[in-house]
Amino acid sequence: MNKIFSIEKSDNFIIYHFFGAKLTLRNYEFTKKEKSIQKKYNLDKIKEAKNIIIFLVPNKCVVNGGIQSIYSICKYSREINPKYECVISTIPGKYTYSYNPNFKNDEKVYNWEQIINNIDNAKNVIIHIPEYFANKFYKTLKAKERKVLKNKQNLRINILNQNIELMPKPKEIESLKLLTNDVSMTIAHNRYATQEVCDKWNIPTHLLSVYIDLSNYDAYNFNQKEKIIVLSPDYNENKDNVINKLKQEMSDFKLITVQNLTFAQYMDLISKAYFTITFGEGMDGYFIQPQFVNSIGFAVYNDNFFPDKTWKELKNVYNSYEDLINNITNDMRKLIENEEEYNKIISETLTRHKKLYKFDWWIDNLKRFYTKNYDFFPITNRA
């Protein structure tokens, strides 16, 4: 009977297995428990605030680079804007959670109703919305919530465009302008922080980039590493072919796909491993973060995310998945026999990354966003 039907429960989901099929449903009991915690939050500062900055996050309690980036933006927005109350809320809807334990942070997470029902005194409101939700935000609001926002003296809405492939089409974000004409977009990757992108979506656009502090995680040296290859959990049509190649030619290595780990556990894993392979954007955490803990991340070049084609010069960046499949196992074998070359690749990748993502520069970009000193404004009268 157990082979025919079984149930798995996690904080976020209940998974039913039956006759080889799988049905995944939200675990509403988790939300009930989390709402009971949220009810104990003191809302006085939100109620009294004349100025408030709201960061919306997905209503699923997960950890990834995008989520951590939002938390960092919130933390430093609070320092830059001492007269503003800065809060994190799950997107409007019936699911929520009170705290994200998957990485180091001190942020309480509110549910949307706790925010929208308690900002009557706020005159200046800034709402940061993840790109994937930008076309859904207006639709999910109740009529009274729309009225609250429309009546604000100054309402700014900013779209956090962290992945241009998830960004809704220009027409799909027009609903935001029913709330305010002050709509902007911040960009996480240099590659698509351009006038062309600004003009396409017809809103002020600003390169904010990303910042995640990785200085407090232990790094294992070359001789301490284990025969592990870490794989990102992203879906990719080439993934099975890569995995089959690794199983055939790197059979003495253990393949581990990242799942159900806290960020600290993840950082420890990629540091112990010789290699990590990303199947996602390419220019993402699974490619960059291993180098910060003395390991190598491999990626396939993606023109949408890498800053420019010179990144192809790195020996851990492949031109295509065909190129990766043909060469990666030979490259790995050579590297585990050559500590000097292994460390050289780490150093070269880190040098590029640190040049691209400087903390002082990131803070300056964040300050310029709040003063509306944007990088790009729409050009509406081009010849």
Could you read off the pLDDT of 20-56 as tens digits, one per residue? 455 444 566 778 999 999 999 999 999 999 999 999 9
Q: Tell me what the mean pLDDT of segment 62-69 comes to.
A: 87
Given this model, what pLDDT does residue 11 score? 56
3-state secondary structure of 187: strand
Sequential DSSP letters for 304-366: TTSSSGGGGGSTTEESSHHHHHHHHHHHHHHHHT-HHHHHHHHHHHHHHHHHH--HHHHHHHH
Cβ contact 183:159 at 8 Å:
yes
Q: Tell me what the mean pLDDT of segment 75-93 comes to.
A: 97
Does pLDDT of 327 surpass 90? Answer: yes
pLDDT digits (tens, 9 = 90+) for 134-184: 999 999 999 999 999 999 999 999 999 999 999 999 999 999 999 999 999
Whole-angstrom Cα distance, residue 26 to residue 291? 36
Percentage above 70 pLDDT, the chain: 92
Given this model, what pLDDT does residue 209 score? 83
Does pLDDT of 17 surpass 80? Answer: no
Given this model, what pLDDT does residue 336 score? 96
3-state secondary structure of 291: helix
Of 184, 185, 203, 206, which Cα lies nearest the Cα of 380? Answer: 203
Q: Which domains does the chain have, with CATH numbers?
A: 1-28 (no CATH), 41-211+362-370 (3.40.50), 222-356 (3.40.50.2000)
Given this model, what pLDDT does residue 7 score? 45
Question: Which letter, b or e, does each residue of 191-208 get, where b requires 16 or more Cβ atoms within 10 Å of its Cβ?
Answer: bbbeeebbbebbbbbbbb
User: Strand pairing of 124-130 and 51-57?
Assistant: parallel
Whole-angstrom Cα distance, residue 202 to residue 207? 15
CA 120 to mean position of chain CA atoms: 31
Does pLDDT of 57 surpass 80? Answer: yes
**To 5 degrees, how large is the angle CA 288–CA 291–CA 296?**
95
- Only one residue has tokens 């309690």, namely 61
Does pLDDT of 2 surpass 50? Answer: no
Q: Tell me what the mean pLDDT of segment 346-369 comes to.
A: 92
Does pLDDT of 335 surpass 60? Answer: yes
- Determine phi and psi for 246, rounding to 5 degrees: -65, -45
Q: Report how far apart, in Å, the C-alpha atoms of 26 and of each of 14, 17, 30 are.
A: 6, 15, 9
Whole-angstrom Cα distance, residue 87 to residue 98? 12
pTM, two decimal places: 0.81
The two structure tokens encoding residue 251: 């059979």
Average pLDDT, the chain: 91
Residues whose CB falls within 8 Å of the CB of residue 38, separated by 6 or more in sequence, listed in order: 96, 98, 109, 110, 111, 114
Given this model, what pLDDT does residue 216 score? 81
User: Strand pairing of 51-57 and 85-90?
Assistant: parallel
Edge-to-edge strand ranges of the sheet holding 51-57: 109-110, 85-90, 51-57, 124-130, 154-161, 183-187, 205-207
Please give the residue that has the higher pLDDT: either 2 or 232: 232
Given this model, what pLDDT does residue 29 score? 76
Given this model, what pLDDT does residue 8 score? 47
In this prediction, residue 4 has a pLDDT band, given cuts at 50, 70 and 90, of low
pLDDT digits (tens, 9 = 90+) for 245-273: 999 999 999 999 998 888 999 999 999 99
If one counts every other C-beta atom within 10 angstroms of the C-beta of residue 25, the result is 9
Residues whose CB falls within 8 Å of the CB of residue 272, separated by 6 or more in sequence, listed in order: 220, 224, 225, 226, 228
Q: Report how far apart, in Å, the C-alpha atoms of 218 and of each of 210, 264, 331, 332 are.
A: 22, 10, 26, 23
pLDDT digits (tens, 9 = 90+) for 182-235: 999 999 988 889 999 999 999 999 999 888 778 788 899 999 999 999 999 999
Of 164, 167, 294, 283, which Cα lies nearest the Cα of 225? Answer: 294
Whole-angstrom Cα distance, residue 184 to residue 317? 33
